[in-house]
Structure 1
C-alpha cells in the first residue's frame, strides 16, 4: 500500500498549528491496551481464563461506547502494577518488539512525519495509559503524549487509580486544553487544528477541532463522517 494522501492546510501566521492523533485503531491497527492485557497472560502474569475473558469484555464495552474507564484501568493495571520497575521495563521492551513493532506501518509513520515536517505541533492523545503508550509514542518520534496517568502511592507504586482527568471521550478535550493552557494558548489562538481518530468514542474531540479526520473508521464513525462531509482516511486494512 502506498503512503496515504496528505492534504496540506493553509499556513496561518496568526497562530500555531496542532495535529492530534488517536493511537489504537488509528496509528496502529490493533488496540495496545487490550493487547497488553493479552501479553500479560502470555508472560504468565495473569490467569489465562479469567483475565482474558474480562479483558475481552472490557474491550467490547469500549467498542460499544459504554466503558467505565475507572473500572477498566483498575483491572488493566492489576497484572503489572505490583511488579518491580525492572520487570515492567522488561515486559514493555518485549511487548514493543513482539506485538507493536509489526504494527508500525510506513503509512502511519509517514503521516506523522509529514505533519512534523510541516511545522505542526504533533500530539498523540489516547485513552490508553502512558505505561503502555509512552514507548509507542517514542517509536513514532512523538515526544508529546497525552494518555491516562496511573496514580502512584508515597512509595512510587502504581495504585490502579487514575491520576487526574482521564483522556477518554470528553476528557480528551480537557487534557488538550490543559496542554494548550500550559503553553499560554487557547483553541481560538490556533492557526489550525486537526484530529485523526477511528472511534465514535472520540466524537467530542473530533467535533472540537477545525479538521476532523475519520481514520480507519468503524462503521459508526464512517457513517457520521459521510453525513457531515468529514475526510475519511484509511492507513491500513482492518
Structure 2
C-alpha cells in the first residue's frame, strides 16, 4: 500500500490509505446478487416463477437485516451449480454484458479514480458471492475483492456452501482484518475510509476512520446525520453531496 506523505507536513497522517467500498447500491445502482437471480429466471436457467418469488423474499430479508446467508447462497448458486463451469461462465458473461455494464455510472468510476489517483489502495467488500463479483470488480478496475467465498466439491466446482467467514455484517470487519494481517498490518497502521449504503454494514462503518453513507437507505441516512458522518449520493443530486473526497 502506498502512503501520501512524500511532500506532506510533519503533522499529516502518513499511514497507508485504504479505500473500502461496498458494491451493491453503493458503486452500482442495483443489487448484483438479486439481478443475477432475475437474469437466471429470464434465461430459463431456473424455475422462473418460483425462483423470482423466492429471490424477492431473500432480498427483503437482506434489507431487513434478517438474511440467513447460508440458505441464500445455496439458493443463489442453483443455476451456477446446475450449469457447470463452461455454461455458467458463459451465462455470467451475458449477465455482465446485458445487466452490469449498462448500470456502471460515471460518478462511481470518478469516485474510484479520485482514490486511485491519490495512491489509495482500493478494496471492494461485498456480501455478494465471488463468482458474480470477481468480474464486476475487474470491470471497475478494482484489484482487491473481499466477497463471499464459495466452497468447491471433489470435482472442483461449487457445491452451494460458504467457504470461511462470509463478508456480511460483522464478517466484513473480520475479513478486512484478515486481509490487513496478510500484509503485516493492523487497523491503527492504516487510514481507512468505507463507503456503504446499508445498515447491514454498520459494524465496518463504525470501525473505519472515515465512514461515508453512500446512497444510503433511510435508516442509515438518519444515523449518519445524527453521527455527523458524510452522506454521499452518487446517483442522484443531493445538497449533501460535495463532490470532494472525505478525509
Give the TM-score normalised by structure 1: 0.93
Cα distance between partner residues in 1 of 2:193 and 2:82: 38
> Could you say if the C-alpha distance between residues 117 and 231 of structure 1 is closer, same or farther in structure 2, counting changes exceeding 3 Å?
same
Contact map agreement 1:82 1:157 (CA 8 A) in 2: no
Please give the secondary structure, in 2, of the residue aligned with 1:128: strand
Corresponding position of 1:194: 193
Aligned pair count reads: 227
Shift of 1:11: 5.6
Contact map agreement 1:24 1:31 (CA 8 A) in 2: yes
Corresponding position of 1:180: 180
Give the TM-score normalised by structure 2: 0.90
Shift of 1:84: 2.4
Map 1:1-238 to 2 at 5 A. Answer: 12-13=13-14, 15-190=15-190, 192-237=191-236
Contact map agreement 1:22 1:196 (CA 8 A) in 2: yes
If asked which structure has higher relative contact order (CA below 8 Å, sep 6+), I would say: 1
Cα distance between partner residues in 1 of 2:116 and 2:235: 21
Contact map agreement 2:127 2:166 (CA 8 A) in 1: yes
Runs of 4+ in structure 1 over 4 Å off: none
Corresponding position of 1:6: none
CA RMSD of aligned residues (A): 1.2
Contact map agreement 2:20 2:125 (CA 8 A) in 1: yes
Shift of 1:12: 2.3
Contact map agreement 2:85 2:157 (CA 8 A) in 1: no
Cα distance between partner residues in 2 of 1:89 and 1:47: 20
Cα distance between partner residues in 2 of 1:163 and 1:200: 24
Shift of 1:201: 0.1
Shift of 1:132: 0.5
Cα distance between partner residues in 2 of 1:70 and 1:48: 22
Cα distance between partner residues in 2 of 1:18 and 1:82: 38
Cα distance between partner residues in 2 of 1:104 and 1:27: 8
Cα distance between partner residues in 2 of 1:82 and 1:102: 27
Please give the secondary structure, in 1, of the residue aligned with 2:166: coil
- Structure 1 unmatched ranges of 5 or more: 1-9
Contact map agreement 1:197 1:217 (CA 8 A) in 2: yes
Shift of 1:48: 1.2
Shift of 1:237: 3.1
Which string of whole-angstrom CA distances, capped at 9 and with x for unpartnered residues, describes residues 137-173 of structure 1?
0011001000001100121021100000000000000
